[in-house]
Amino acid sequence: MSHTKTNKLSSTMVVATCQQTLSMFAGLVMVPLIIARALGCSAGDSQNIVTIAILVGGLSTALQCAHVAGIGSGYLLMMGSSSLFIAPSIMAGKAGGLPLVFGMTLALAPVELILAPLSKYLRKLAPPSVIGVIVTLIAMAVLPVSMRQFAGGAAKDFGSLKYLTIGTITIFTILFAQFSPWKLLRTGSIIAGLFVGYIIGLFAGLTDFTQVIEAPWLGYPKPFWYGMPKFSSNFILPFAIAYFLTTIETFGDIYAIAHVSGDNIDEIPQKRIRGGLIADAIGSLIAGLLGTTPNTSFSGNIAIAKMSGITKNTIGFGVGAALVALSFLPKLSALIVSTPACVLGGSMLIACAFLLDVGLGMLRSCDDSPLVATIGITAGLAVQFVPDYANAAPSFLTPFLQSSICIGALTAGIAKLLIPRNPTP
């Protein structure tokens, strides 16, 4: 596997591009939709937020994969809306409407630009064993969401046998394709699972074409459609903490995709890590300017790259172009969004498994005591299982204290300092 640039276009590359795009699309539009609905936005405003989120996802993905003029990591790393900003955005929206949401998004995005040059110190604080813990916990953090989608998502008959059956068929279709003797089928294993699951869901009456029918064939993003950005000092800390958390997540994802690409994670040039964080920050700046939610790296797509065996950064340019095109084609976007939740959940569960394998593989290659990873993962899972342990803490600290990734990484870092590499029994 390689992340080197290539101009060669093949059916395998096309399938890999489509697979990466389809796999991230639902997650890309989910966050802005949740925020829009929580704030009671009109259908038109909701469509603007989602459409621009797709556009920004495409632009920031291409920027991340390029590594030009010190911007971007040059790795196959997908970018899109971050769920870490759901709570701060809803709080800001209820206080000052969408102009305040996007104003705070724009004003605090430089936090990550400031942190990017400091990544060399973060690298010293986060050796391979800690990074392995971060990647492992990222996979585990996505599991509950994946399982909920697998069982029906927001459906009233959540947990119905039909959802579990179709989700399971999706999983086994992906596994069959993933380990088939045909390279093209292996490359498009997620697409195969989504296609089979979608068709079965269609016959089972799980696909709602209402939004597809109502969506126009052509549309275009409208910059500054929300008016002039607003700013309030009351929301500096919530947004700053969210940006700090996305920095940690993107930092770990850069190492994860480097590992999947076959690079030695101890020898990754600092400029690529710094460039990746800068690209993330610029994507959020664009999001604030145009009027949508901040972005971050999509960890699940790293697992897709591992499954397909293709990690060339040129795939990212194709994904970026596809997302930009989709932002002008609302009907096609609506068709993708109409995929049944149980089908998406099945594919997400498989992606979690492969991402977990990436994290565990990184830990297996470390020479630190296994206790470092065990203690870090235990702390992270404890927070994930009981996040309300921090309810009495100051509200501005809650996002950090309830982040299984941050608590697990911090605990693993402390454990590494205290535990020798070969502890005596």
Dihedral through CA 109, CA 114, CA 120, CA 123, nearest 10? Answer: -40
Contact 186, 164 (CB under 8 A): no
Q: How far apart are CA 238 and CA 388, in angstroms?
A: 17
pLDDT digits (tens, 9 = 90+) for 108-161: 999 999 988 887 777 676 777 888 888 788 788 878 878 888 998 878 889 899
pLDDT at 33: 74
Q: How far apart are CA 390 and CA 404, in angstroms?
A: 12
Q: Output DSSP code: residue 204.
A: T
Q: How far apart are CA 111 and CA 245, in angstroms?
A: 11
pLDDT at 62: 95
Q: Give this prediction's pTM.
A: 0.73
Joined together, the tokens standing for residue 352 give 């979690």
pLDDT at 3: 42
Of 163, 161, 137, give the one whose Cα is nearest residue 410: 137
Contact 230, 99 (CB under 8 A): yes
Q: How far apart are CA 253 and CA 237, in angstroms?
A: 24
Element (H, E) at 81: strand 79-81
Q: In the chain, where are the structural domains located?
A: 11-137+208-339, 367-425
- Point out the residues of the chain with pLDDT beneath 50: 1-7
pLDDT at 101: 93
Q: How far apart are CA 376 and CA 369, in angstroms?
A: 12
